[in-house]
Amino acid sequence: MSASPYPAGLTPEMVALAGVSLRAKRPRYDWSAVARSAQLPPPGEWRTWLVMAGRGFGKTRTGAEWLTEEVQAGRMRRVAIVAPTAADARDVMVEGESGLLAVGTRRGFRPTYEPSKRRLTWPNGAMGTLYSADEPERLRGPQHDGAWSDEIGVWRYPDAWDQLQFGLRLGTDPRQVATTTPRPTTLVRSLVGPDRQDVVVTRGSTHENAANLAPVFLEQIANRYEGTRLGRQEIGGELLTDTPGALWTLAMIDAARLPADTILHLTRIVIGIDPAVSVGEDSDETGIIVAGIDAAGHGYILDDLSGRYSPNEWATIAVSALDRWQADRIIAERNNGGQMVEHTIRTVRRHAPITTIHASRGKIARAEPVGALYEQGKVSHVGSFPILEDQMTTFVPDVVAQSPDHLDAMVYALSDLMVQTVTTFARSY
């Protein structure tokens, strides 16, 4: 006779009852009891809930909680989870500290994550698919009854939003939440327009979530950014429009903008580089902009590959772009790096075609002729480049708070293509 699996004196019925009692004492997870009011979905009829707030507000937690609640209640069975890049979808929306796996665990409703399939499956059978806004075509065709889109203010291809809307057609009341730090892109501005009766906007600042943020973080951002335009946007959550006196306006850029998939016939393509002078968390980014020109003399911004890189990383990215775009040459500033800039590139590819620029006339003298080209409608952005466009629309002559790295790289590229008199060139072959 086998030994009983239960402790002496206890019957299976007694153990079962004890389990029920213990579960009854365990408090039920209730997001509405701990969330701030701004983190809870608004009442009424709406299709899109736009949460536009400063860094650290709790946007990711808000999006993850809302989507999980809808799925757990059975109101959504097929959902889209869209981030600026595939890595963002994985690292922030799914695996992040406030992402869907963490929220699901707290609710006792944790989904199974299959990275290779870009899929989440919840205990009730509902499925979520991960998408990158960098790949709009993946959203062409799939149907959903709900969606969570994160950081739409930095989506490079607004077409990803359009394709998502076409597929949001399952069920009787398909809804979506979009969470973002405010940036005055065409997409964001279209959602906050007065004619959008289907959109409800929630705004908020970093300070509203101070209780859950490290004091040193709040102190650092307050000391460095409070009172600045960047602080108003990234901390205060303000959607800022054109800066008085700026060389570029959003209307100017939008007027000549082309869809990301536009087919062009270009006569020349160059890679503009503004290398950072230091490497570290607080260093400037290295600006890397791909630009071209057609036979009619019209210029195009084709790609923005800028980022915070080591010298070998930015050189590798620039050379890869040289190949991918079949570009004629790299245009790099050598004021701070001297011959080191050219040496770094040639370490990656010995015979890469390089033009090094000594920017002898300053930022304003370099930027003004390029700004004039935009005013004349002679430059088009092929797609959307939020960070570059933010730097452009906030660059005011004589009021330069920091090095606009994306903008500088753009100016170098277009100057070589269209305004070669702007700078003094030192050609190297």
pLDDT in tens, 91-149: 999 999 999 999 999 999 999 999 999 999 999 999 999 999 999 999 999 999 999 99
Predicted local confidence at residue 398, as pLDDT? 61
CA distance 391 to 45: 37
Nearest to residue 151, comparing CAs of 195, 210, 96, 194?
96
Please give the single-letter amino acid code of residue 187: L
CA atoms within 13 A on the CB side of 191: 29
CA distance 307 to 288: 8
Among 46-60, 102-116, 221-235, 377-391, the range scoring the smallest mean pLDDT is: 221-235
CATH architecture assigned to 250-428: 2-Layer Sandwich (3.30)
Q: Average pLDDT over the chain, rounded to whole?
A: 86
Among 202-216, 267-281, 301-315, 360-374, the range scoring the smallest mean pLDDT is: 360-374
Percent of the chain with pLDDT over 70: 85
Using the predicted structure, report yes or no on whether residue 52 has a pLDDT greater than 50: yes
With 0-12 / 13-18 / 19 or more C-beta atoms within 10 angstroms meaning exposed / middle / buried, residue 215 is: exposed
2 contact partners, CB below 8 Å, separation of at least 6: none
Alpha-helical segments (H) within 93-139: 100-107
CA distance 288 to 90: 26
Query: pLDDT (tens digit, 9 = 90+) per residue, 223-260?
Result: 677 766 677 888 888 887 777 778 898 889 988 999 88
pLDDT average, residue stretch 379-390: 90
Q: Which residue has the tokens 């490079």?
A: 156
Using the predicted structure, report yes or no on whether residue 352 has a pLDDT greater than 60: yes
CA distance 405 to 285: 6
CA distance 118 to 99: 15
Question: In the structure encoding, which two tokens stand for residue 94, read together?
Answer: 């799914």
Using the predicted structure, report yes or no on whether residue 285 has a pLDDT greater than 50: yes
CA distance 244 to 29: 49
CA distance 202 to 183: 15
Using the predicted structure, report yes or no on whether residue 291 has a pLDDT greater than 60: yes
What does the DSSP 8-state code read for residue 77? S
Using the predicted structure, report yes or no on whether residue 282 has a pLDDT greater than 70: no
Q: pLDDT class for 18, splitting at 50, 70, 90? A: low
Domain ranges in the chain are: 31-234, 250-428
Q: pLDDT class for 390, splitting at 50, 70, 90? A: confident
What does the DSSP 8-state code read for residue 93? I
CA atoms within 13 A on the CB side of 335: 16
- C-alpha to C-alpha distances, 366 to 128, 330, 372, 392, 415, nearest whole angstrom: 48, 18, 11, 13, 8
Predicted local confidence at residue 327, as pLDDT? 97
What 3-state DSSP class applies to 274?
Answer: strand
Query: Please, what sign has the CA dihedral across residues 120, 126, 127, 133?
Result: negative
In 10 A of CB 279, how many CB atoms? Answer: 13
Domain 31-234, classified CATH 3.40.190.10, yes or no:
no
Instruction: Give phi and psi for 336, each to the nearest 5.
Output: -90, -35
Predicted local confidence at residue 422, as pLDDT? 37
CA distance 124 to 127: 9
Strand partners, 358: 424
Taking the model in full, what pTM does it have? 0.66
CA distance 253 to 403: 21
